Amino acid sequence: MGPLDGLKVVELAAVGPGPHAGMYLADLGADIVRIDRLGGEQIGRPDASDPMLRGRRRVDADLKTDEGRATLRALVEHADVLLEGYRPGVVERLGVGPDELLAVNPRLVYARATGWGREGPLADRGGHDLNYLSLTGALHALGAADACPPPPLNMVGDYGGGSMLLLTGVLAGLWHAARTGRGQVVDAAMIDGVVGLSQKVWSLLAQDRWVDARESNVIDGHAPYYRTYRCADGGFMAVAAIERKFYAQLLDGLGLDPADVPDRDDRHAWGRLAARFEEVFATRPRPEWEAVFADLDACTTPVLSWSEAPHHPQIAARGSIVHAHGAHQAGPAPRFSATPPALPAPMADPIPLDHVLAGWAP
As a whole number of angstroms, the distance between CA 96 and CA 90 comes to 9
Examine residue 51 and say whether the peptide bond preceding it is cis (omega within 30 degrees of 0): no
Instruction: Please state whether beta strands 31-35 and 56-59 pair in parallel, antiparallel, or not at all (unpaired).
Output: parallel
Is the distance from CB of 293 to CB of 300 less than 8 angstroms? Answer: yes
186 strand-pairing partners: 111
How far is residue 67 from each of residues 77, 82, 268, 355, measured CA to CA in Å?
15, 19, 69, 17
Q: Indicate the length of the chain as a whole number.
A: 362
Is the distance from CB of 21 to CB of 50 less than 8 angstroms? Answer: no
Instruction: Please state whether beta strands 226-230 and 236-240 pair in parallel, antiparallel, or not at all (unpaired).
Output: antiparallel
Q: Which residues carry out catalysis?
A: 128, 158
- C-alpha closest to that of 189 among 265, 90, 87, 259: 87
As a whole number of angstroms, the distance between CA 130 and CA 139 comes to 8
As a whole number of angstroms, the distance between CA 191 and CA 129 comes to 9
Is the distance from CB of 10 to CB of 18 less than 8 angstroms? Answer: no
As a whole number of angstroms, the distance between CA 236 and CA 114 comes to 36
- Contacting residues for 3 by C-beta, under 8 A, at least 6 apart: 28, 29, 336, 338, 339, 341
As a whole number of angstroms, the distance between CA 140 and CA 150 comes to 9
- C-alpha closest to that of 281 among 314, 321, 316, 236: 236
